[in-house]
Amino acid sequence: MNRGSIDSVPSGPDSGRFPADQGFDNLPPSSTKPRFLDRPVVRRASTALERRLLQWFLSACGNPEIQVVLWDGRALACSRELPVGNILIHDPVTLRRLLADTEIAFGDAFTDGTLEIQGPLVEVLMEICRALRNAPMGGLFGRILNVARRWRSHSVAASRKNIHHHYDIGNAFYEMWLDERMQYTCAYFAEPGMTLEAAQLGKLDHVCRKLQLKPGETVVEAGCGWGGLALHMAERYGVSVRAFNLSHEQVAYARKRADAVGLSRRVEFVEDDYRNVSGKYDAFVSVGMLEHVGLENYPELGRVIDRSLTPSGRGLIHSIGRNAPQPFDPWTDARIFPGAYAPSLREMLTVLEPFRFSVLDVENLRLHYARTLEHWLERFERSTDKVAHMFDESFVRMWRLYLAASIATFKIGGLQLFQVVFTRESNNHVPWTRSHLYRDEVLS
Amino acid sequence: MNRGSIDSVPSGPDSGRFPADQGFDNLPPSSTKPRFLDRPVVRRASTALERRLLQWFLSACGNPEIQVVLWDGRALACSRELPVGNILIHDPVTLRRLLADTEIAFGDAFTDGTLEIQGPLVEVLMEICRALRNAPMGGLFGRILNVARRWRSHSVAASRKNIHHHYDIGNAFYEMWLDERMQYTCAYFAEPGMTLEAAQLGKLDHVCRKLQLKPGETVVEAGCGWGGLALHMAERYGVSVRAFNLSHEQVAYARKRADAVGLSRRVEFVEDDYRNVSGKYDAFVSVGMLEHVGLENYPELGRVIDRSLTPSGRGLIHSIGRNAPQPFDPWTDARIFPGAYAPSLREMLTVLEPFRFSVLDVENLRLHYARTLEHWLERFERSTDKVAHMFDESFVRMWRLYLAASIATFKIGGLQLFQVVFTRESNNHVPWTRSHLYRDEVLS
């Protein structure tokens, strides 16, 4: 055990500090300029104070099995002979920022390239997340953040701005790495090895079966993305759909597709907030919108569902969740999903309980989301040249971190994916068992 | 619409006030002495005040479509030509009690025979429950009761007394109307028409599959009844079981069965409180105990599970539940299940959330419990002579009301049955989908 001792990094590709077969560069950091960056290498050596502060900092972070390497090649070794990977800090300013404002600075430094990760990216992030979870200060910070975050605004205007930030950066970008149906939510892999296309189609059918859709029925969808589910329900299950979405780009895209497949008479895309849903429907469905609703609006979402469902109506809410209440980390909140929140299952139920909805079925698809994200990251990595051309290298690194960190978080259980099926209390026309969801799967 | 008008009851079996083909007596109440009772018929006529009070009372109860008939044959007609059934009140004292302390007095009067129900018992009770749910005063009373009931004691000593009250009234009694495995919890009917024996066996397998039991593993069971699940797990799934129960009679019975089938080396029955569970296990299971734990002990139950489960451990809690918090009615609390409480799903999750358990699956088997209870009531009715001989006629009527009212409540959605499957946050060895639960069902 040599935790905390300060070594210089062994040089050469065979230093063996992390498995070399991961397909990542394994060059000694002291001899390389940061990738993607065209700025001068810092010449001054790190000070004893800087290294001591970093050591204290790593201990407060739960001592992840990661080797941190400073700009002068000096490294803080961890207790394992083979750390999961290296973090390279390329200049003193980045180190100072990291110490002062860790959660924002880590992601920002990765984005601008002043911090690099050597080794298998997802595994390194998993190791950091695991260590943080057991860190002495983690719990308290989490609780303080949680209280603070609840007061973020989710007014109709603020929601519109939040949604615009993430979803209106260009359909062409998402087309590069999503499946052909543009499903930007967790897929359902009946078999772990199936393709993303098949698994996203599987998700659509899984949702439709859970909703027990029958031809001629009406469905309202809250948060419809690029319209894939709405079109699928209309085409394969013979229902009429009104689908709501705040993203202008997504709605325009969805309408075009509805026209192209001749479904615009049965699928209406409405560029509006879920709070403005009107009318009565046989089914309510929302896939991947609850994350943007904000806890304080859950009662209102419940009211919308309650006034929208017929007496025999069914509903399904599909959302990223948590095992216990916890906010998104500040970087994701600031840079990726402003105002997003992944509720615990208990928090999700505050949507339904005030209206005595009967929960029929809850399924947790956590590992399916990790698998979905692995497909996305793989496709994304194949398109980085095009993405860099469309935006820039920083954007590529930001999205790389976001996708890889999401995989890591689902894999260590920091995030869950809940599908909650419900109906009205008095509705006895519910399937006797759930075997109808598995007919194809079992026979195939 | 003649709500509230006072008629005298038409006489003769063909009066047609409720469907006559339900297999229940349809004799004009004015001419009959209460069944099962050997006491003088009241001669005096009902007063205008009595009838007016009763009318006000029925309106406060949400005006169920039931005809109430007084001891002198005068009836308060309801708005329907064919009411669901008649309630006969055989003397003025019973009426006074009903007005003063409805929820206790109704069940007690039914038990002692001073109140009778003519017509299909379950349907009449469903109609009353439905009306009460929409009654103007229902909500407020419910909330007050809910607060009051939380303070009932569930200390180890009080729990022992509560459990003794219901479960130690004699194994011979339960043997008359339960299945051969003595399952006194909701069965799982893969097909609605299957026998109770098959459906209870189906439930045991459904639970074991959800727990992913593997040969050689260890299981702790909290609240094991007569030991049916513990023995089944050991026999069919090759696991070792420690099963806890406070009921002396049930534990004695279970030990005898374990001896008889040669499983006493692998199944240990412990006559003790779940709070005294010690050791580490691969699975935690509790079927039908949470109802007796008391909300205030949910965190303690969570702690017990947390300290008992191995890192890859799985758990299942099977419990009667509600769509929203609500206490049991006072009669059930006083006469049938002292201290029992059916939690909402959100309340159930307070057991798991503090320990970051990951909920994998929630299934609601509400209609399966209605079906199970229909089997129990049918078997019970075939044994009433023996039950009356063992106890008395009042006991027969009390249990008839309890079973029939339970069917009614599950049917109208007043009660739910939740099976919640969970594991530790970090356990990734979970089934990829739930199709393994349905292999037999789909193929058969």
Closest CA of chain A from B121, distance in Å: 19
Q: In this predicted model, what pLDDT tens digit does every residue of A350-365 receive, in sequence order?
A: 999 999 999 999 999 9
pTM score, whole prediction: 0.89
State the best of B134, B362, B418 to mutate against chain A, taking most chain A CBs within 10 Å: B362
Helix axis angle, A48-60 to A92-100, nearest 10°: 40
Amino acid at B144: I
Chain B residues 339-358 with a CB less than 8 Å from chain A:
344-346, 349-350, 352-354, 356-358
pLDDT-derived band at A154 (thresholds 50, 70, 90) equals confident
Q: In this predicted model, what pLDDT tens digit does every residue of B241-261 receive, in sequence order?
A: 999 999 999 999 999 999 999
Position A442 pLDDT exceeds 50:
no
Paired tokens of B142: 């419910």
What is residue A151's predicted lDDT score, i.e. its pLDDT? Answer: 52
CA proximity to A314, closest of A436, A431, A423: A423
Contacts of B242 (CB under 8 A, 6+ apart): B218, B219, B220, B221, B268, B270, B277, B279, B281
Rounded to whole angstroms, the Cα distance separating A162 from B67 reads 59
Spell out which residues of chain B touch residue A364, defining contact as CB-CB under 8 Å. 358-361
Q: Which residue of A has its CA nearest to B206?
A: A433
Alpha-carbon distances of A429 from A187, A286, B286, B367, rounded to whole Å: 28, 22, 29, 10
pLDDT-derived band at A152 (thresholds 50, 70, 90) equals low
A192-196, A273-277, B149-153, B232-236: which range is least confident on average?
B149-153
Instruction: Answer left, alpha or beta for residue B188, where phi above 0 means left and psi between -120 and 50 means alpha.
Output: beta
Q: Are A224 and A245 in contact (CB under 8 A)?
A: yes
Spell out which residues of chain B touch residue A442, defining contact as CB-CB under 8 Å. 435, 438-439, 442-443
Across the interface, whether the CB atoms of B323 and A357 are under 8 A apart is answered: yes
Paired tokens of B127: 């109609």
What percentage of chain B exceeds 90 in pLDDT? 72
Contacts of B305 (CB under 8 A, 6+ apart): B284, B315, B351, B352, B355, B357
How many CB pairs (< 8 A) connect A and B?
135
What DSSP letter does each residue of B350-388 carry, written as one string? Answer: HHHGGGTPEEEEEEE-HHHHHHHHHHHHHHHHHTHHHHH
Closest CA of chain A from B440, distance in Å: 9
CATH topology of domain B156-438: Rossmann fold (3.40.50)
What is residue A369's predicted lDDT score, i.e. its pLDDT? Answer: 98
Closest CA of chain A from B323, distance in Å: 5
By the CB < 8 Å criterion, does A360 face chain B?
yes
State the best of A122, A435, A436 to mutate against chain B, taking most chain B CBs within 10 Å: A435
The whole-number average pLDDT for the span A234-247 is 97
* Greatest extent of chain A over all pairs of C-alpha atoms, in Å: 74
Rounded to whole angstroms, the Cα distance separating A172 from A122 reads 26
CATH architecture type of domain A6-136? 2-Layer Sandwich (3.30)
Of A345, A432, A442, the CB nearest to B435: A442
Position A189 pLDDT exceeds 60:
yes
Rounded to whole angstroms, the Cα distance separating B336 from B328 reads 10
Closest CA of chain A from B433, distance in Å: 7
What percentage of chain A exceeds 70 in pLDDT? 86
What is residue A38's predicted lDDT score, i.e. its pLDDT? Answer: 52
Q: In this predicted model, what pLDDT tens digit does every residue of A385-431 receive, in sequence order?
A: 999 999 999 999 999 999 999 999 999 999 999 999 999 999 999 99
Q: What are the boundaries of each domain within chain A?
A: 6-136, 156-438
Across the interface, whether the CB atoms of A323 and B353 are under 8 A apart is answered: yes
Position A265 pLDDT exceeds 50:
yes
State the best of A123, A317, A323 to mutate against chain B, taking most chain B CBs within 10 Å: A323
Across the interface, whether the CB atoms of B438 and A443 are under 8 A apart is answered: no
Q: In this predicted model, what pLDDT tens digit does every residue of B367-378 receive, in sequence order?
A: 999 999 999 999
By the CB < 8 Å criterion, does B411 face chain A?
yes
Q: In this predicted model, what pLDDT tens digit does every residue of B383-414 receive, in sequence order?
A: 999 999 999 999 999 999 999 999 999 999 99
What was the ipTM of the complex prediction? 0.88
Contacts of B112 (CB under 8 A, 6+ apart): B37, B394, B397
Higher pLDDT, B38 or A387: A387
Spell out which residues of chain B touch residue A325, defining contact as CB-CB under 8 Å. 353
| Beta bridge mates, B285 | B221, B316
What is residue A138's predicted lDDT score, i.e. its pLDDT? Answer: 53
Chain B residues 366-395 with a CB less than 8 Å from chain A:
366-367
pLDDT-derived band at A78 (thresholds 50, 70, 90) equals confident
Position B428 pLDDT exceeds 80:
yes
Spell out which residues of chain B touch residue A367, defining contact as CB-CB under 8 Å. 428, 430, 432
Of B366, B433, B442, the CB nearest to A439: B442
A300-309, A406-415, B126-135: which range is least confident on average?
B126-135
What is residue B152's predicted lDDT score, i.e. its pLDDT? Answer: 59
What is residue B441's predicted lDDT score, i.e. its pLDDT? Answer: 63
Position A229 pLDDT exceeds 70:
yes
Alpha-carbon distances of B86 from A85, A177, A218, B111, rounded to whole Å: 78, 67, 41, 17
Of A190, A345, A353, the CB nearest to B359: A345
Of B192, B358, B418, the CB nearest to A364: B358
Across the interface, whether the CB atoms of B443 and A438 are under 8 A apart is answered: no
Position B20 pLDDT exceeds 50:
no
Q: In this predicted model, what pLDDT tens digit does every residue of A311-335 receive, in sequence order?
A: 999 999 999 999 999 988 888 888 8
Chain A residues 48-67 with a CB less than 8 Å from chain B:
none
